[in-house]
Amino acid sequence: MAYVAEEPELRIGIDIGGSKIAAGLVNRRGRVVSKKRISVEKQKAYAKVRDDIALLIDELATENGIEKARIERIGIASAGQIDNETGNILFSPNLGWRDVPLRADLEKICCVKTSIENDVNAAIYGEWRFSLLKCARNVLGVYIGTGVGGGIIIDGKVYRGFSNVGGEIGHITLNPYGYPCNCGNTGCFEAYCGGSYIAQRAQRRLKSGYRGKLWGILGGNSDILHAGHIEEGYLLGDELCETLWREVIEYMGAALAGLVNLLNPEIIVLGGGVIYGTQRLIDEVKPIVEKRAMAPSIKGLRIIRAKLEENAAIVGAAFIEA
Ligand SMILES: [Zn+2]
């Protein structure tokens, strides 16, 4: 596509997920003009994945007729803990990497200035800058997919905390005696509202013999179950779905209300697979947040759905300042 080659400023954003890596060519207006994906196996050796990413960058540039010298920056978004100084990924829960120098390696291989950021921070930054157009100074991003991640913008800047690992709102304890969470704690926000946890709870009941409208929705195959099916069952009056749905919105509402009391954001952006896969979740959570939060903290608050969806981390990583 010739128009891509003629774009004045181009950056590349890389989103490293648990099962795939996506690379996007991003123009200065934050639009992904071209994108490529590769799949990645769990626990894959670092050196191999690093080389695959470098190749992906090469292909993306070549296919769009762009010399690498014209790429302003490569921005990487990765789950896990990142050392801001060195650009190393200290721990990647998805890929099992520990202390790998991805930023330095890619910079050396590609000869392009490279930055690295936590994936949820990158996503909320992308939403803030290119979808909200920086219209608010204080924004909370909550991403509810298989797990729950958070990103916080305070006074127009991403809040990273003392050692760069702030914003882990998915692991706020909502109930000390609650469900076990993958992080080792019990009763985390994620353990109540993460898509994989909701699905597991429903699947357990189905495997122990629960039938009802949900069984029909799934055509008898509980393996395909996701949060959207729970909403569907809830709307049809399925008893199990109704219980699960109420639990999700009550805990999610309580978590958001607590965060509103703490941060007094102007906007809460909700994104992630569970949010995109359901129609009414945001509408039903709003009144619970309003009921539980302190009145002054919630005045003027807007709760909205993320717009950039799966491109948010790519776009944010390409532009976020370290
Ligand atoms: Zn947890």
Task: Using the mean position of ligand 1's atoms as its centre, give its distance from the Cα of residue 229 in Å.
Answer: 24
Task: Using the mean position of ligand 1's atoms as its centre, give its distance from the Cα of residue 143 in Å.
Answer: 14
Task: Using the mean position of ligand 1's atoms as its centre, give its distance from the Cα of residue 184 in Å.
Answer: 6
Residue 157: CB partners within 8 Å, gap ≥ 6? Answer: none
pLDDT at 179 over 70: yes
pLDDT at 6 over 90: no
Nearest to 270 by CA among 75, 127, 106: 127
Task: Using the mean position of ligand 1's atoms as its centre, give its distance from the Cα of residue 238 in Å.
Answer: 29
Helix (H, G, I), strand (E, B) or coil at 260: helix
What confidence tier does 78 reach under pLDDT thresholds 50, 70, 90? very high
The per-residue pLDDT for 5 is 63
Instruction: Output the six-digit token pair for 194.
Output: 């993460």
pLDDT at 283 over 70: yes
The per-residue pLDDT for 18 is 79
DSSP secondary structure letters along 126-161? HIIIIISTT--S-EEEEEESSSEEEEEEETTEE---
The per-residue pLDDT for 43 is 67
Task: Using the mean position of ligand 1's atoms as its centre, give its distance from the Cα of residue 180 in Å.
Answer: 8
The per-residue pLDDT for 8 is 72
CA 208/CA 230 separation, integer angstroms: 17
Instruction: Output the six-digit token pair for 165.
Output: 């690992």
Query: Cβ(13)–Cβ(304) under 8 Å?
Result: no
Task: Using the mean position of ligand 1's atoms as its centre, give its distance from the Cα of residue 125 in Å.
Answer: 23
Task: Using the mean position of ligand 1's atoms as its centre, give its distance from the Cα of residue 174 in Å.
Answer: 10
User: What is each CA distance from 17 to 39, 145, 147, in whole angstroms?
Assistant: 9, 12, 13
The 10s digit of each residue's pLDDT in 152-166 is 999 999 999 998 889
pLDDT (mean) for 67-82: 92
pLDDT (mean) for 102-106: 97
Task: Using the mean position of ligand 1's atoms as its centre, give its distance from the Cα of residue 188 in Å.
Answer: 5
Task: Using the mean position of ligand 1's atoms as its centre, give its distance from the Cα of residue 178 in Å.
Answer: 11
Task: Using the mean position of ligand 1's atoms as its centre, give its distance from the Cα of residue 169 in Å.
Answer: 9
Task: Using the mean position of ligand 1's atoms as its centre, give its distance from the Cα of residue 94 in Å.
Answer: 15
Task: Using the mean position of ligand 1's atoms as its centre, give its distance from the Cα of residue 176 in Å.
Answer: 11
pLDDT at 120 over 90: yes
What confidence tier does 250 reach under pLDDT thresholds 50, 70, 90? very high
Task: Using the mean position of ligand 1's atoms as its centre, give its distance from the Cα of residue 172 in Å.
Answer: 7
Task: Using the mean position of ligand 1's atoms as its centre, give its distance from the Cα of residue 211 in Å.
Answer: 30
The per-residue pLDDT for 40 is 87
pLDDT at 95 over 90: no
Task: State the helix-helix crossing angle for 239-263 and 281-292, rounded to 10 degrees.
Answer: 50
What is the average pLDDT score of the chain? Answer: 94
Task: Using the mean position of ligand 1's atoms as its centre, give its distance from the Cα of residue 59 in Å.
Answer: 38
Which domains occur in the chain, in start order? 2-112 (3.30.420.40), 134-306 (3.30.420.40)
Out of 37-51, 194-208, 238-252, pick the least confident: 37-51
Q: What are phi and psi of 29, to 5 degrees?
A: -90, 5
Task: Using the mean position of ligand 1's atoms as its centre, give its distance from the Cα of residue 145 in Å.
Answer: 14
Task: Using the mean position of ligand 1's atoms as its centre, give its distance from the Cα of residue 146 in Å.
Answer: 12
**% of the chain exceeding 70 in pLDDT:** 98
pLDDT at 1 over 60: no
